[in-house]
Amino acid sequence: MNLSGVLFFPVTPFGADGTLAEEVLAEHIRQGMEHGPGGVFVACGTGEFSALSEAEHARAVRVAAEVVAGRVPVFAGAGGPIGTALNQARAAREAGTDGLLLMPPYLAQGPAHGFAAYVAAVAAELPVIVYQRGAVVLEPEAVVELAGLPGVIGLKDGLGDIDRMQRTVLAVREVYPDFLFFNGLPTAELTMPAYRGIGVELYSSAVFAFAPEIALAYLKGDERLLTEFYAPLVRLRGKVPGYPVSLVKAGVRLRGLDVGTVRPPLVEVTGEHLEELEALIKTGLGLAAS
């Protein structure tokens, strides 16, 4: 599957009454598509995957598939209890998406072969990128086993253990050279120099959701953005748990699209932090335009 460039992870908009705002989601994705992302990942972490009902998830995925209309691959989030993950996978397949980003199952943990069975069941519905984060910490040999399962096409790393990832990349590519690896850390641009050093070029860009101009300028090699935009953004992100999502949604609102607020347990960005974010966006846009 051809995934390249900046990968777009849209937020999930909610209306004033708290319900899914499908038309706003469609507009959000339309605006993002104007900047040429290499793929769209809907109802994933930035899209508040864990806060969506199965019905909301299915509607959000269908909206994304309809707006993108085959121009780039569309992936949907899936995960949690096996029954829920399968329902989400089937809804995504029926909507016409290209694959799934498989989140870790909640609470229940088993041995490596148990997790492999979980992944295999979901991958029978659609191609799967496994998300390594939280309780899912995989040894290189376990990833080799997963890479050999039908339908498993990639691994997204949300741990940031470069030593583990280097050993994993080497072990997997020796057997499966076309297997995909992604940097899935929040504000991934800041750590991309390290990931590129171990052969991982793909990454998810939360910034693309609210400032695609900045994300594309970084992709073209503007290293000034690392010190003047991304590093300060990471410092701001670390001030409150949940800000990796809340800041993105606030950024979309600051750029003129009312996508509503985040759902609990996430919290809204404070007024002081919102001012910091607005100033950072202004700085980043200035650099991108220069």
197 vs 97: CA distance, rounded Å: 32
Is the model's pLDDT at 1 over the cut of 90? no
- Secondary structure of 72-100 in the HEC alphabet? CCEEEEECCCHHHHHHHHHHHHHHCCCEE
Going by pLDDT thresholds of 50, 70 and 90, the confidence category of residue 4 is confident
CATH architecture of the domain with residue range 7-220? Alpha-Beta Barrel (3.20)
Question: Residue 109's pLDDT band (boundaries 50, 70, 90)?
Answer: confident
The pLDDT value recorded for residue 25 is 98
Residue of 180, 12, 151, 143 whose CA lies nearest to 93: 151
Q: Nearest to residue 44, comparing CAs of 121, 82, 125, 100?
A: 100
CA distances from 19 to 25, 180, 232 (A): 12, 35, 33
- The candidate with the shortest Cα–Cα distance to 237, out of 199, 201, 280, 196, is 280
Q: Which of 201, 202, 225 is nearest to 214 (CA)?
A: 225
Residue pLDDT, tens place only, 71-91:
999 999 999 999 999 999 999
User: For residue 86, what are its two tokens?
Assistant: 């399968």
Mean pLDDT of the chain: 96
Q: Where are the domains of the chain?
A: 7-220
What's the pLDDT band for 172 if we cut at 50, 70, 90? very high
Give pLDDT tens digits for 230-289.
Answer: 999 999 999 999 999 999 999 999 999 999 999 999 999 999 999 999 999 999 999 999
Q: What are the distances in angstroms from CA 43 to CA 48, 63, 88, 260? A: 6, 11, 10, 15
Rounded Cα distance, 53 and 87, in Å = 11
Strand partners, 257: none
Instruction: Give the helix/strand (H/E) hosting 182.
Output: strand 180-183
Q: In the prediction, which pLDDT does 201 show?
A: 95
What is the C-alpha separation between 259 and 288, in angstroms, rounded?
24
Distance CA 97, CA 106 (A): 24
Say how far apart CA 167 and CA 155 lie, in whole Å: 13
Residue bearing the bigger pLDDT, 112 or 34: 34
Residue 290 has pLDDT above 90, yes or no: yes
Q: What is the pLDDT of residue 111?
A: 87
46 is in an annotated binding site: yes
Residue 135 has pLDDT above 80, yes or no: yes
- What pTM does this model have? 0.96
Measured N-to-C along each axis, helices 162-175 and 140-147 cross at an angle, to the nearest 10 degrees, of: 40
Q: What confidence score (pLDDT) does residue 193 get?
A: 94
List active site positions: 131, 156
Q: Which band of pLDDT confidence, cut at 50, 70 and 90, is reported for residue 188?
A: very high
On the question of a cis peptide bond just before residue 265, with omega within 30 degrees of 0, the verdict is: yes
Find the mean pLDDT for residues 185-212.
96
pLDDT on residue 248: 98
